[in-house]
Amino acid sequence: MKVSDVQDMNAQMVQQYQRGENLAVAAEKQASAAAVKPEEKVDLSTRAKEIQQATVEVTRLPDVREEKVQEIKSQVEKGTYNVSGEQIANKMVGESIIDLFA
C-alpha cells in the first residue's frame, strides 16, 4: 500500500496542509529574495542643517542665567528692584496668548 493512496480523509487533509505550507515557505523565500529594498537616503537642505546645528547649540545653554539671577537678587536685597504692574500684566497677557496657539 502506498502512502499516497491513503483513503483516510484526515490523512489526506494533513498531507494537503503540509504541501500548502511548503509552497508558502517557498513563495516567502522567493518574495524576500526578489524584494531588495533600496537604500534609504536623507538629504538635508542647508537651512535644515542650520536649524539642526542651532538646536544643538540651544540645548547646550544652561536653563538658568546665573548672572541675571544674581543681578535681580542684588536689586531685591538693596530694595531697588522695581517692576511696574503694567509690565507684569503685559507679560501675562502675552504668554496667555502664546499658550492659546501652542
In angstroms, rounded to a whole number, what is the distance separating the alpha carbons of residues 55 and 44? Answer: 15
**17 lies in some domain:** no
State pLDDT tens for residues 26-43: 667 766 665 556 677 777
The predicted model scores a pTM of 0.34
DSSP H helical ranges for 9-84? 9-34, 46-60, 66-78
**59 lies in some domain:** no
Contact 12, 6 (CB under 8 A): yes
**What is the average pLDDT score of the chain?**
78
**92 lies in some domain:** yes
**84 lies in some domain:** yes
pLDDT in tens, the chain (102 residues): 455 555 666 666 667 666 666 666 666 776 666 555 667 777 778 888 888 899 999 888 888 889 999 999 999 999 998 888 999 999 899 888 888 887
**Cα within 13 Å of Cα(91), Cβ side:** 6
Question: What is the amino acid identity at position 55?
Answer: T
**29 lies in some domain:** no
Which residue range forms the structural domain that includes residue 76? 65-102
The total of structural domains in the chain comes to 1
**79 lies in some domain:** yes
**Chain length of the chain:** 102
**98 lies in some domain:** yes
